[in-house]
Amino acid sequence: MHQMNVNQTKPAKAPKRILIANRGEIALRVIRACRSMGWISIAVYSEEDRDAMHTLMADQCICIGPAQSSKSYRNIRAILAAAEVSHADAIHPGYGFLSENAEFAKAVEDHKFIFIGPSAQHIELMGNKIGAKSAIKSLGLKTIPGVDSPLSGIEEAKSIAAEIGYPVMIKASAGGGGKGMRIAMAESELVSAYTEAAGEAKRLFGDEEVYIEKYINNPRHIEFQILCDGKGKAIHLGERECSIQRRNQKIWEEAPSIVLAESERLKYGKLICQAMSKLQYKGVGTLEFLYDNGELYFMEMNTRIQVEHTVTERITGIDLIKWQMRVAFDEELTLNQEDVKINGHAIECRINMEDPATFQPCPGKILQHVTPGGPYVRIDTALYPDYKVPSHYDSLGSKLIVWGEDRATCIMNVRQALHEYVILGPNTLIPLFKRLADNEDVISGNLSIKWLDQNLPMINAAPYN
């Protein structure tokens, strides 16, 4: 299973060969897309992942190093070497790891492989929050009030904060995932917010540059999915709402948003597509916004496939991974905006292997794994009985995606699916999701990005069915 003939030659008319520089459920998702297209999938794995599901399902697999991601899944040399010996045509980065690393994208292209994603230039542009904000603003989208350049020091921060008004947020320029961010409610808190944000940015991202923007107190999180061909054609596939978050980490995502009117969807979707067309962007991407008082404020852009792309697929019937790969190979984007139809409502629950009260990761052996069924349920997972969840990687174990003809029906179907879903062994977030599906605020859509953090003790104390 784990052996391959590195001396094999690639037939002249061989199917496309895709190396997947990732692991877990997203690697499986790409493998399935390859198989449905008649393409060959090549998995890479760390020594810790020798028995992981993606190594068992891929057409070929290659060990690229020890358990530490810095020596395996983040090891650019090892991944390129695996691509060379397996005669890969292209490399799919998945999400996380090297998926938004401009150096990796450029190295892939320099070694004559196709990078299944945007250009290194676009990754670099959008990976710098200041540069992304400036670029998006110049393309006609509204951004959060603040500055479009790094702060020179605390005195400049004080001056700008006085101008735009408190509260303000100090944010890492190279940050992401809710890291390198601090809030100052008043000037007395600004020095510590600046120092802590810059220090965390230096420690996590190797770049201590920070910027400042107005802190929007209680917004919702709404994001638009785009698909572009790199030649000026850009379409959007509607929006997702990701307002249920734990410390800026999404756990419950749904599409469409219940607060965005059809007229707003058309307005913002058109502006976003115009912006991406001007950029000549290629591949999939997600523009994330804060929604407050009927306005969308650009926050950041992710230049990769999102964990929550599944809910968009469920309500549109469009396979984002297939199209991501097709446009990477310069196939014509035959989808037009009028082809995108939103049907019903979909919700994704991220079944993390974590304690539902403390959110501490819970690695360990899966004793039993019984998934829910029915016509409205999709499970994206790499779990199986006797599999040992490792401690070295992200704690996401499974994604439960549920559809309904409307949001109320979808939530009812979520309850049923969670009732059927059994994972014995490590703790998971299933009990938390059962409580969320019964919660009146969730049912009514009375949500914001701060809602879960503010209500977690009450939610954890509630019974569930």
The single residue listed with the structure tokens 């496309």 is: 16
Q: Write the DSSP assignment of 182-216 as a string of letters.
A: EEESSGGGHHHHHHHHHHHHHHHHS---EEEEE--
Residue with the bigger pLDDT between 129 and 360: it is 360
Average pLDDT over residues 98-126: 97
Domains of the chain are: 17-116 (3.40.50.20), 145-214 (3.30.1490.20), 220-461 (3.30.470.20)
- Beta carbons of 41 and 30 less than 8 angstroms apart: yes
Separation between Cα atoms, residue 444 and residue 458, nearest integer Å: 17
DSSP secondary structure string for all residues of 155-192: HHHHHHHHHH-SSEEEEETT--TT-SEEEESSGGGHHH
What are the structure tokens assigned to 16, written together? 């496309």
**Paired tokens of 306:** 């999102």
The tokens describing 76, both together, are 């650019």
* The predicted structure's pLDDT at residue 353: 98
pLDDT of residue 33: 98
Contact 221, 300 (CB under 8 A): no
Residue 134 has pLDDT above 90, yes or no: no
Query: Which residues, including other chains, have CB under 8 Å from residue 415's CB and lie 6 or more apart?
Result: 434, 437, 438, 465
pLDDT per position as a tens digit, 55-85: 999 999 999 999 999 999 999 999 999 999 9
Q: Which residue has the higher pLDDT, 42 or 145?
A: 42
**Given this model, what pLDDT does residue 1 score?**
40
Q: Which residues contact 408 (CB under 8 A, 6 or more apart)?
A: 443
pLDDT for 68? 97
Which amino acid, one-letter code, is at 204? Answer: L
User: How much is the pLDDT for 7?
Assistant: 44
Q: What is the mean pLDDT of residues 381-408?
A: 97
Alpha-carbon span 252 to 370, nearest angstrom = 21
pLDDT band at 12 (very low <50, low <70, confident <90, very high): low
C-alpha dist (Å) from residue 267 to 264, 274, 296, 360: 5, 11, 11, 41
Q: Give the least confident one: 3-12, 32-41, 135-144, 146-155.
A: 3-12
Q: Are strands 364-365 and 396-404 parallel, antiparallel or unpaired?
A: unpaired
Q: Please state the rounded mean pLDDT for residues 203-217.
A: 90
What mean pLDDT is predicted for residues 86-114? 98
pLDDT of amino acid 4: 45
Q: Which residues contact 313 (CB under 8 A, 6 or more apart)?
A: 319, 320
246 labelled catalytic? no
Share of the chain above pLDDT 90, in %: 86
SS (H, E, C) 408-444: HHHHHHHHHHHHHCEEECCCCCHHHHHHHHHCHHHHH
Q: Which member of 265, 304, 378, 435 is catalytic?
A: 304
Average pLDDT over residues 113-121: 98
Burial of 3 (0-12, 13-18, 19+ CB in 10 A): exposed
- pLDDT at residue 128, rounded to an integer: 87
Per mean pLDDT, which range of 190-194, 204-208, 303-307 is the poorest?
Answer: 204-208
**Average pLDDT rounded to a whole number, residues 10-21:** 81
Average pLDDT over residues 207-231: 94
Q: Is the pLDDT of residue 3 over 80?
A: no
pLDDT the model gives residue 419? 98
* Distance separating alpha carbons of residues 342 and 80, to the nearest angstrom: 39
Structure tokens at 130: 């200041």
Taking alpha carbons only, the member of 92, 80, 85 closest to residue 31 is 92
Task: Compute the half-sphere exposure of residue 31: CA atoms within 13 Å on the CB side of its CA.
Answer: 23
CA distance 442 to 415: 12
Q: How far is CA 255 from the centre of its chain?
A: 15
Write down the pLDDT at residue 139: 86
373 DSSP β-pair partners: none
Q: How far is CA 288 from the centre of its chain?
A: 11
> Edge-to-edge strands of the sheet including 210-214?
181-184, 168-172, 210-214
Q: Give 77's contacts (C-beta < 8 A, 6+ positions apart).
A: none
* Residue appearing with tokens 């058109």: 270
pLDDT digits (tens, 9 = 90+) for 416-430: 999 999 999 999 999
User: What CA–CA distance (Å, rounded) separates 126 from 157?
Assistant: 23
pLDDT value, residue 176 = 66
- Full-model pTM: 0.90
Q: Is the pLDDT of residue 11 over 60?
A: no
Question: Which phi and psi (to 5°) does residue 102 adopt?
Answer: -65, -35
- C-alpha 324/C-alpha 301 separation (Å) is 16
Strand partners of residue 317: none
Q: How far is CA 300 from CA 285, 303, 316, 411, 440, in A?
A: 11, 10, 24, 29, 30
Residues 430-440 have pLDDT tens digits of 999 999 999 99
How far apart CA 48 and CA 89 sit, in angstroms, is 26
- Residue-level pLDDT at 177: 63
How sure is the predictor about 182, in pLDDT bands with cuts at 50, 70 and 90?
very high
